Structure formats: C-alpha cells, structure tokens
Structure 1
Amino acid sequence: MAIEIKIALVQSPLHWEDPEANRAMFDKKIAAIDDDVDLIVLPEMFTTGFTMKPQNIPASEEKKTVEWMRRKAIEKDAAIVGSIAYKEDNDCYNRLFFVAPHAHISQYDKRHTFTLAGEDKVYKRGDEQLVETYKGFRLMLLICYDLRFPVWARNTFDYDVLLYVANWPKPRVAAWDALLKARAIENMAYCIGVNRVGRDGLGHEYSGHSAVYDVLGHKIVYSESEEVLYAVLSKEHIVSNREKLRFLDDRDRFTLTP
C-alpha cells in the first residue's frame, strides 16, 4: 500500500493582536477543510500576527490556543501546526506547536529570531531542532526566518518533509520563493512553506506565495490568494528519487553546537 499524506495549507490574513478573533476565523476555515486531510498548517503567530509586543496579549490566551489546537485536531482527525507568541516564566518565545489528533503535542522554539524587526530583543531563541514522525513521514518543523539558514535545516536527520510557517513580507518574497525551492533540492525532501496574506497592524503587506515543492524542486501547489491549498505527499517519490540519484550520500556530515 502506498504511503501518502494529504496536507492543507491555510493561507490567510490575520487579526492584529486578537487571538479570539483569529481562533474564530480559523474555526470556520478548518471546518471547511476536506475530511481526508492528515495535516493542517497555519501561519507563523497565527493568533496575533508578527507582533513585537507580546505584553499586549493576556497570558491566558496561550493555553486557550493550545487547547483550541487540540480540539481542532480531534475534530478533524488531523494534526495541526502553527506558531504563537508564548510566554514562559520571564521569557517569551515564538513557539511552534505540532498537535496530533490523539493528544500528542510537541513544540519548537524559533532558532533564528528576526533582528531586522527586533525579534531578538523580545523573544528568546530556541536551541533544539524538532523532527516529528507522523503517518509514516518524518517532518522537520521550522519558522520563517529559519529559512535563510540552510545549516540549521540540513538533512542530517533523514527527514522526509521540511515545513516552514511564516509571516514573510511582500518586499522580500522573491527570496522566500527561491529559498523554499533550494531547501527542497539540497535536502531531497518535500519543502512546504505556509505564509499569510494581507496587512498587519504595522502596515506591512504580505502576499502569500505559500507553496509545496517536491524533492527535485518541482512546484506542486502555489498561491497568492486567501485560500486553503491541498497537496498529497508520496513516500515513494522520496524513496525512489533518493535511491536513483543518491545525492544525500555525498552530503557533508557535521554536528551543531547551541
């Protein structure tokens, strides 16, 4: 039996610093997603937009959002991925949650905080990578600015899918397109990027360009509009191309220090 996974990429505008409004909006979008989807991907900081003022968000909203993700995963019988502004003790993180439909929750803290926007002054960076096994696929989960740093994403984990959630602005979207394709080719993995659309509370414009690339860098889906995109990933596509081309056999071997 072929091993496949169907994913839904939710490309959406976001309500600025309003978790309740965003959860209500995504309630409707998720309810309309095909029932045979295995994985639903939301943008970076999907409850607030890319805010540098997490103090504007009540602390109770973080746990409400994680619980909301858990409920949605159960309702759709699908894993849900997205990042939120998360406060823990005296630190704030841009934290991605992977929530499986049967209570399993894992997390990843953004490694490369975006200095151009001052994210490094507000959010503490993470120092651990996350590779999640789900439905027969190994997924490496990353956030936005991480895309510019190929060493952090290098396929030394034998993963199958590289996934980025993002708030990547329109003026630099050409880099987003090029880097997503490059990450797929160099790692011989599917590469998924889920971006937002619309304007944020600071006036920054986002043009989407959410996409999925296969292991050879071919574009499977792509959009610049507010919509849900669907793609089916095939394990056979990964295995057959890696066995035929064997580029990963020649990769550099290294370890990273925090």
Structure 2
Amino acid sequence: MTALRVAAIQHDIVWHDRAANFERLAPKIAAAAAGGARLVLLTETFSTGFSFDTPGIGEPEGGPSSQFLVEQARRHGVWVGGSCPEIAAAASADDPRPSNSFVLAAPDGSTSRYRKIHPFSHAEEEKYVRAGDEFVTVDVEGVRVSLFVCYDLRFADEFWALAHDTDLYVVVANWPAKRRLHWSTLLRARAIENQAYVVGVNRVGTGGSLDYAGDSAIIDPLGEILATGAGVETTLVADVEPAHVSSTRSHFRFLQDRR
C-alpha cells in the first residue's frame, strides 16, 4: 500500500459570498496539488460560513459549491472535499431544509456525499438543517476514508462503528475558539481509540458573532500529531499510510477487545 499525501487547508471564510470564497480558495488548492497532495480538504461550509438560519442559504444538490469542488478536482487531478448547504434532489416541497453536505469530488469529477448526521442542537441547527442518516466511507487511492462534519466528532460510537473499515477519518468543521480544547482533545481521542489517522480541518477568522482559532490537525493511529496550526490561514500536509494503520492494529489488538 502506498502513502496518500493529504493537505488540510485551514482558511478564513468570506461571509455569505460564494464567489469570493471560490476565488480565494482556488490558488490554495492549486498550491496543495502542486506540492503533491492527492486529497485536498477544505472546511465545513467553506463557501458561505456557518449560517444555516439565513433564508435561501441552501443550494441545489450539485449547485455552485459542489461544482467548484468538481472543477478543482478535475483541473488538478486530485480529490477535493468540503461541506456546503445542499438541498437534496429528493427533498419534499414541505421540508426544503438543506443538508450540511460533505461533498468529496474525485479526479474524474464523480462525487460522494456524506450528510451530517448530528445537527448542532446547541445552535438550533436542526431547525434549519435536515439530518443525514448514512455513513460514508470512500476508497481514495487505496486509503479507506470516512467522512464526518464538526459536531459528529462528539459521538464516539459512530467512529467506532466504522473503525474496522477505516484508515482515515476526516472531520471538516467550523468549531468555535471558545471550545477549542474540546476540538483538539476529541480529534486525538478518535485517532487513539480507533487506531486510525484523523484529519480535522477547521476555519479561522470571524463568522457571524463567533471567533475561530483553527487548530486543524493531522494525527496518526498512535495519537501523534503530524501537523497542526492555529490562528492563521495555513495548509497542513502529511502522508497517510494504510500499512501504519494495519501494523498498529496488529501490534496493539485493542479493536478486537471491544464488546
């Protein structure tokens, strides 16, 4: 098994301005791809900011944010992902709420979608967002990648459920600075308890009334932090090796002891 180079782009978000965010993110994606990254990750709601209570914030499935990811993936021949507010094609007229949809675009332009299972009730996200109900794991060039969004990180049982078929968990987020200790601790815990890589990609800057510190991180199956950054826009890069996951689980047989 060969290593997969991952780039986590920790970025600010221009509030409610998709075009401005696309313009700012395109060169960052290009630079990550030029540096050898095969999987390039943006944040949760990378094109709008976390603003689901805004009327009309939802876009059609396959709308401008998804199209941006697909165009970037095709242009650079890499995988590109992030979340956006999408109204599913099957949504009914009497419930037009969007999903918080993590879209992962492949180099050929095909897409996989994970719809956030846990709306953030503390911010009443469930009033504005339709919850998903299916896990998604994607084979990215031989690495089994399971997709999650922000608040999902608090639910350890769902990471456990996918552990045997996961080499890398990706969590895209808009996690506020005032709870940054929780973010960093939970990312590391999910890696250690599941003996898998974890990439957490969080925004920086200010959105709405909240400040964001980033604290994005790439963590290996033993909980070692391979790359991290706080406070500023930056791109974290590290190699993910399925063989390291396998050898860690063979040496420390913790997963088989679960009941």
Q: Bin the TM-score by the shorter chain.
A: over 0.9
Change (3 A) 1:60 1:190: closer
2:188 aligns with 181
Worse overlay, 62-71 or 207-216: 62-71
Are 2:118 and 1:109 aligned?
no
Are 2:238 and 1:239 aligned?
no
Aligned residue runs from structure 1 range 146-225, under 5 A = 146-154=152-160, 155-200=162-207, 202-224=208-230, 225=232
CA distance in 2, matches of 1:249, 1:29: 41
1:256 aligns with none
Change (3 A) 1:7 1:156: closer
1:227 aligns with 234
Alignment TM-score, normalising by the size of structure 1: 0.92
Deviations 1:136-176 (A, max 9, x none): 11011000000001011113442101110000000000000
2:148 aligns with 142
Structure 1 unaligned residues grouped into runs of 5+ = 253-258
CA distance in 1, matches of 2:247, 2:173: 30
* Contact 1:54–1:85 (CA under 8 A) maintained in structure 2: no
Deviations 1:56-89 (A, max 9, x none): 4374696122122111001111101100011233
Change (3 A) 1:151 1:60: closer
Change (3 A) 1:118 1:110: same
Q: Alpha-carbon deviation of 1:54?
A: 4.4
Change (3 A) 1:54 1:95: farther
CA distance in 2, matches of 1:171, 1:58: 27
2:139 aligns with 133
**For residue 239 of structure 2, what is the amino acid of its counterpart?**
V
Any runs of at least 4 consecutive aligned residues in structure 1 with deviations exceeding 4 A, and if so which?
none
Change (3 A) 1:58 1:243: closer
1:67 aligns with 67
CA distance in 1, matches of 2:6, 2:140: 12
Q: Alpha-carbon deviation of 1:134?
A: 1.1
**For residue 33 of structure 1, what is the amino acid of its counterpart?**
A
1:98 aligns with 104
* Contact 2:58–2:98 (CA under 8 A) maintained in structure 1: no
1:76 aligns with 76
Are 2:32 and 1:41 aligned?
no
CA distance in 1, matches of 2:81, 2:110: 12
2:3 aligns with 4
Change (3 A) 1:59 1:165: closer
**What percent of counterpart residues are identical?**
35
Change (3 A) 1:174 1:212: same
**For residue 193 of structure 2, what is the amino acid of its counterpart?**
E
Alignment TM-score, normalising by the size of structure 2: 0.92
Change (3 A) 1:59 1:131: closer
* Contact 1:6–1:233 (CA under 8 A) maintained in structure 2: yes
**For residue 43 of structure 1, what is the amino acid of its counterpart?**
T
For the aligned residues, what is the CA RMSD?
1.5
* Contact 1:17–1:56 (CA under 8 A) maintained in structure 2: no
Q: Secondary structure at the match of 1:128?
A: coil
* Contact 1:62–1:85 (CA under 8 A) maintained in structure 2: no
CA distance in 2, matches of 1:3, 1:246: 23
Deviations 1:121-148 (A, max 9, x none): 1001011000111111101100000000
